[in-house]
Amino acid sequence: MNFPDLHRHLGGATHPRILWGYITKHARDSEESLRIRRRFPTYEEFAYEFNRPFHDLADYLTVHHLVEGLQAEDVPYFTHRAVRGAAVFESIDYLELRFNPYKRTPASLPDRDRRALMAEVAGQVIRAARTEFPIQTTFILCMDRGFSVELNRAIIALADALPEVAAVDLAGPYQPGGPTPGEWRELYTEAKARGLKTTAHMAESDPGDIHPHLFPYLDRIGHGIQIALHQPQLLDELAARAICLEVCPTTYLRTNTLQSLSELAVVFARCRGAGVPISIATDNPALHGEAGRIVGQYEGLVRDEVIHFNEILQYAAVGYQYAFRPTHAP
């Protein structure tokens, strides 16, 4: 059996053993490799950073910051291995890989130079994802809550210019100086006008992170479980707009959002009752150990009686149905 995965970050897709192999074999003297080896003298210490208990979502996201600088040194190396591993070890035949192109540029460069490099970085990711294995990869470019309107608009324009990119996402923690709610509406309006699909990280761990004003502009929502848990009256609108939730079960355990996957039973039940589609995804499998693979997501939900074994095919079918296969013209 094969699976789709609609929510996987490049920053969380590479196993720490592969990262460590790059650090110790291919780039021993690079700035990022030296910085990481000073902080983590052994592989065991490095791997623990990925496998340690996290306090919350913010703590969990620190691993992304650790990885992004390293990936900026050799984007093709990490992309190819991430896609190859998804096909070989997880039986994924349709993958949506999301990343922020600006954050894969050297942080030491001036902002103008980093922006100029975004197109080359995105092209490297796209080319490196072409493997000899039977997997189709589609790309999502991530805007960031801490970026200026102009930089986020540049990411939208880049997504539109690349036929292999199907959508834009909204990610990152809230930060002072980021776009206002009205400016996010304008950015999403532009993305939709360009023919791009849209998704946004929302209502993952914080019940206050629910923003109905963005619903009219979204095709999917990354996570969204807090909507079903705390504002289920909004599910009817999601259903009417055919907005699919990208649910990543293991993430909620790793971020202490949930103490047991059994707590997702009410999410699935309420979404099923309202007609809100759910796609089951991995998010950041490199931070989740063996349970992080796509099969592990389904296994955990079946084990904790969130879904029935006989429903696995149905949820996989939802993923294929709501996939963001590129349809826009550059």
Instruction: Give the chain's end-to-end CA distance (angstroms, integer).
Output: 34
- Mean pLDDT in residue range 208-212: 97
pLDDT tens, residue by residue, 51-60: 999 999 999 9
Tell me if residue 160 falls in helix, strand or coil.
helix
pLDDT at 177: 83
Q: Using CA atoms in the order 311, 317, 322, 323, what is the torsion angle rounded to 10 degrees?
A: 130
Which residue spans within the chain are E strands per DSSP? 3-9, 92-99, 136-144, 165-171, 197-198, 201-202, 220-223, 244-247, 278-280
**Domain extent listing, the chain:** 3-321
**Phi/psi zone of residue 177: left (φ > 0), alpha (ψ -120 to 50 degrees), beta?**
left
- Mean pLDDT in residue range 287-306: 96
Tokens matching residue 52:
């340690």
In the numeric block, the tokens 């470019």 are attached to 141
pLDDT tens, residue by residue, 158-182: 999 999 999 999 999 888 889 999 9
Q: Which CATH architecture has domain 3-321?
A: Alpha-Beta Barrel (3.20)
Q: Find the helix or strand (DSSP H, E) in which 186 lies.
A: helix 181-193
Buried b (16+ CB within 10 A) or exposed e, 81-92: bbbbbbbeebeb
Tell me if residue 205 falls in helix, strand or coil.
coil
Cα angle 167, 171, 175 (rounded to 5 degrees) comes to 140
pLDDT tens, residue by residue, 139-156: 999 999 999 999 999 999
